Structure 1
């Protein structure tokens, strides 16, 4: 159940309470559902009881106590807790730890893609400049993932080295129709080809189109300060975890037990991985809609950082035996690796299993 669906569920429960005479208040058009704050619990929380309490002539906690049993009976909700002055904390049944991870692993590199095609057509035209051509090539891949049929064109034929080294492709070249908007990202300050395909493409795609890209050796450095290294390293770690788990005699299993046996901080780290997996389709859609591959690149960095913070909890330590929780955490790490590989592929960048 997504936050939007959960918001509708809360409103439905309130309407039923009003219809039953348990509350006398105008039902708002929308309610906010978000992650619980300090002192909260469950998967989501809403302050709707505080929002309508004065109009209902009751305390927020009294309103929450009316809504709580109705919400608890809704499909997909496992439990309701009231905290603070009247916050409703919602625990989902079969939480995202199983459904989401199974979806990511099951769809593989197609997770977040739109099927079937939408029937939309797009033409991307760029000047004869290396960054513009790379951006158009990445957008072609991203838009295609969202069900759009794309044609990329350029003022002139791309330089042969751009095609050979950077693996770019355009459908045609020449003067575009006058009514066709030309994509004009800030040009690269120098030739990026010496960086090689992966680092050069990242250097040109990671900054926003209106920012001047840097094409220095920092993109080749194998250290944490290099975002490309972190993304590819996180993907390699996810694959290493699978190999190491096999050596210990267990495989992944997508269940909601990923947080079992974890301390609070570790459980929050697991939740952060789930959050970035949930947000990945929105990041893809946003990158396509705004013609901004940098949005996808930045989301991959966020995903990598979440996985690297969480990955130390996946394998058993010392004499600890593999448990269902370890299998669930491994599935979560594998799902994050799947998203990293799929996202890098859309940017035209490789995701090696060993780094």
Structure 2
């Protein structure tokens, strides 16, 4: 295209970017592009005429076997075997860096996820965000973004007071207060506090309640942090809601929003006019009795993220938080930001668990919920992280314990991990036979349809990573890995990788060892982006 422009064949400006994709149908070549349709109008020529000019230039490039024109002017490009096979060398040499790209280079993103109230163990909805959020953070970093991960601790307000009252009641052998918290974990925490704080039960009722609040919150947060660490989920910041109140950040936020012209006083209360930006009603910041609302803390928290350098604040909320989308976006707009760019709100749908065909609803420890520890005990960290990340978050997901603990192809994480282990087995067998793939190989020998299909999948990996980061959807990586594993299994079944007994080692065997190592590298890189292990043996 650039050559056609420079030769005067096309009178257009060279576009900054051109879409090049892998065709779903392999008969349509190795790559396809609609650049001729993109250039036709500014060039003042029919799309097929532009396609002919570009195709002629592409055919002159080394490594291009043929270029076909399809439909109104699509270009289907087929590489020769050597050019395509050279990808195996590039992947092996790049190692862990293969797949990383700069699609989101320089973008500063604050990624907040899980953020469950510190009043109990992380439940199954939070487990989904623990998997998806951490995977997304890894993917965003792999696409060049600057990412800060954050857990927002709702350690102020009514629910914490109910939590403290529940602990106090349990420690004193009293009935749980109305709307209080129940479960073995409440009894366990209450006992830990009474054992660790001598004389707490002799304190006056109000001081005792405050003590249970302080110590209970500390123990519960530590428990949440333990479960997150064991699940492989890392947060750069554990942000306390209480600090927003103690530091005066809430008051300052209201003043800043008033300066923007969106705060008004009515009926003795202070309001934010969020209806100007799509919310269904205006929101109270300070009640008539002077009490600060949760919404005021939400506003202060958003401004805190922006003040700390976040260009895009991503909120990952539970299935029961649909009503938060418009109000959070309205906060950004009221602050003078672009509600379609500076803030993103994702809602994760419900998760169900099945065992023997029946839905599992109860936790041994928490009573009325399934906790993260339950999920890990039943199916393991790898299966949980992979399965929770492989579906779009806007869809309900069912975790079938029987399937996810089986060693069959129905178990998606087993299917992908087994492919990686099979590749490692090939390397071990080669070493045992004294076979080395060598420092070089002939890429043109990777010419069968199965090798070509596998190379095509390997080439798609950086694009899938970029897409997952751009759309904030880790499931693109998981689904890609399953396709790659499938292509590898077909290659395995149809191509002899190592020489049979009595056969001589050939250059084709060596080339295929390069291809195996390239595929293993991509599978390992993809699993790492999902926070899932890549086992060498299974």
Give your verdict on TM over 0.5: yes
The answer for the alignment partner of 1:223 in structure 2 is 408
* Helix, strand or coil at the partner of 1:297: helix
Q: Is the 8 A contact 1:36 1:44 kept in 2?
A: no
* Helix, strand or coil at the partner of 1:353: coil
Deviation at 1:181, TM superposition (A): 4.4
Deviation at 1:327, TM superposition (A): 1.0
Deviation at 1:236, TM superposition (A): 0.7
Q: Is the 8 A contact 2:103 2:143 kept in 1?
A: no
Deviation at 1:112, TM superposition (A): 1.4
1:138 to 135, 138, 163: 135
CA offsets, 1:116-149, max 9 Å, x none?
A: 9933211111231222222221112111222222
* Helix, strand or coil at the partner of 1:321: coil
TM-score by length of structure 2 reads 0.52
Q: 1:36 to 1:17 in 2, by over 3 A?
A: farther
1:197 to 356, 381, 398: 381
Deviation at 1:233, TM superposition (A): 0.5
In 1, the alpha carbon distance for the partners of 2:101 and 2:396 equals 32
Deviation at 1:193, TM superposition (A): 2.1
Unaligned 5+ segments in structure 1 are 1-7, 20-24, 261-266
CA offsets, 1:211-256, max 9 Å, x none?
A: 2232332212110111111110110111111122223333224531
1:275 to 432, 453, 456: 456
2:150 to 136, 150, 153: 153
The answer for the alignment partner of 2:469 in structure 1 is 288
The yes-or-no answer on 1:325 pairing with 2:508 is yes
Q: For structure 1, which segment, 201-210 or 112-121, has the greater mean C-alpha deviation from structure 2 after superposition? A: 112-121
Deviation at 1:296, TM superposition (A): 0.9
The answer for the alignment partner of 2:111 in structure 1 is 124
Deviation at 1:257, TM superposition (A): 3.0
The answer for the alignment partner of 1:263 in structure 2 is none
The answer for the alignment partner of 1:182 in structure 2 is 315
The answer for the alignment partner of 2:290 in structure 1 is none
The yes-or-no answer on 1:256 pairing with 2:443 is yes
Unaligned 5+ segments in structure 2 are 117-125, 154-220, 242-297, 304-312, 318-347, 353-369
- Equivalences, count: 326
Say what the alpha-carbon RMSD is for the aligned residues.
Answer: 4.1
CA offsets, 1:22-53, max 9 Å, x none?
A: xxx99x9989886697888x75689999xx9x
In 1, the alpha carbon distance for the partners of 2:228 and 2:499 equals 46
Q: Is the 8 A contact 1:133 1:154 kept in 2?
A: no
* Helix, strand or coil at the partner of 1:182: strand
In 2, the alpha carbon distance for the partners of 1:326 and 1:95 equals 18
Q: Is the 8 A contact 1:223 1:230 kept in 2?
A: yes
Deviation at 1:338, TM superposition (A): 0.6
Q: Is the 8 A contact 2:58 2:64 kept in 1?
A: no
Q: 1:200 to 1:68 in 2, by over 3 A?
A: closer
CA offsets, 1:89-133, max 9 Å, x none?
A: 7544841211x2122111212211137993321111123122222
1:300 to 459, 481, 492: 481
Deviation at 1:331, TM superposition (A): 0.8
Q: Is the 8 A contact 2:104 2:140 kept in 1?
A: no
Q: 1:81 to 1:319 in 2, by over 3 A?
A: farther
In 1, the alpha carbon distance for the partners of 2:233 and 2:76 equals 51
TM-score by length of structure 1 reads 0.75
In 2, the alpha carbon distance for the partners of 1:31 and 1:131 equals 33
Q: Larger radius of gyration, structure 1 or 2?
A: 2
The answer for the alignment partner of 1:234 in structure 2 is 419
* Helix, strand or coil at the partner of 2:393: coil
2:97 to 110, 120, 138: 110
Q: For structure 1, which segment, 182-191 or 111-120, has the greater mean C-alpha deviation from structure 2 after superposition? A: 111-120
